[in-house]
Structure 1
Amino acid sequence: MSDTRAATQSVRYRERLRVPWWFWPPALGLAALIATEVNMGVAALPDWVPFAVLLPVAAATLLWMGRWEVRVVDGVDGRTEAELWAGPAHLPVGVIARSAEVPKSAKSAALGRQLDPAAYVLHRAWVGPMVLVVLDDPDDPTPYWLVSCRHPDRVLAALRS
């Protein structure tokens, strides 16, 4: 997709699946603990080097874990239909047969024994609910999408508008 196309699309819904704030203190604490262990084990290394390396690595890892976005965008200048984007994948809204919210309490069942191996899944464990989008596209072997999102009602409303 070109950048000009992305620039002309209006966004109905957008959500980045970032890690929660309370992931940061344990991750940075663990990095500091490992840096301290390295300091104690390698006397020739300056004390600041393990901290200067491991703390940014921990922060970069947390940012990387929350890199995916879920968004619903309108078509380009009315020529194409709206699309659902879940991470790197996108889907025209016209091929959606039905959609529903998967509450946090039903998530383990949806991702467990009931999961079709051909389904597209964008799951983040720190995000409670999910959206189920059933496809009606004979050219696509994917039967449905399961996508983590914090506000499934807003995603579903954006898909239906």
Structure 2
Amino acid sequence: MEEYAERLTVPWWLWLPGLGGAALLAAEIWMGSTGVRAWLPFAVLLPLAVAGLWWVGRIRVRVAGGELYVDDAHLPVRFVADVVPLDVSGRREVLGVGADPLAFVVQRPWIGGAVQVVLDDPADPTPYWVISSRHPTELAAAVLAARDAAAVGGASR
């Protein structure tokens, strides 16, 4: 059962400058030439720009099966001490000058919100995770609910 799922896609308005920049660079390379130089820059750079923008927005965040998944990383929720939803200023503060260098961070600048997942695992030196989210309160609630469900399930065994 999946409690929460989100994909950190690139918004449509960032595709415009990305593709525009690739087209401008292709036009610079073309510069009125004939033959292969007339079409090759467009055939190469525009698909590369599309692939790059898709790749940057591929990150998935989900809570399922008692774990928090962020792209390829996963965290069993039993190690979660607390989850704090962050707005833009809170995210800036957590990732600012006082940030712990051992923290696990998946941050997308075009997404304003984030969550800070404080860990309680003596075997792991990572103090917390900071994960961008368009819906930080829902993500925080899903992680805490999964943690509480895992604690109840673990206590009854």
Settle same-fold status: TM greater than 0.5.
yes
Shift of 1:44: 4.6
Q: Distance in 1 between matches of 2:24 and 2:117?
A: 43
Unaligned runs of 5+ in 1: 1-9, 75-81
Which amino acid in the other structure matches residue 48 of structure 1? W
Q: Does the CA contact (< 8 Å) of 1:87 and 1:122 recur in 2? A: no
1:60 aligns with 2:51: yes
TM-score, with length taken from structure 2: 0.87
Select the residue among 99, 109, 113 that pairs with 2:93. 109
Which amino acid in the other structure matches residue 149 of structure 1? S
Identity %: 50
Task: Provide the alpha-carbon RMSD of the alignment.
Answer: 1.3
Unaligned runs of 5+ in 2: 146-157
Q: Does the CA contact (< 8 Å) of 2:3 and 2:142 recur in 1? A: yes
More helix by share: 2
Taking the TM superposition and a 5 Å limit, the aligned residue runs for 1:1-150 are 10-40=1-31, 43-74=34-65, 82-150=66-134
Q: Distance in 2 between matches of 1:61 and 1:18?
A: 12
Q: Distance in 2 between matches of 1:55 and 1:42?
A: 18
1:160 aligns with 2:144: yes
Q: Distance in 2 between matches of 1:39 and 1:46?
A: 6
Q: Distance in 1 between matches of 2:105 and 2:17?
A: 27
Segments ≥4 residues shifted beyond 6 Å: none
Q: Does the CA contact (< 8 Å) of 1:17 and 1:68 recur in 2? A: yes
Q: Distance in 1 between matches of 2:32 and 2:91?
A: 44
| Pair 1:99–1:37, CA change in 2 (3 A) | same
Q: Distance in 2 between matches of 1:144 and 1:127?
A: 19
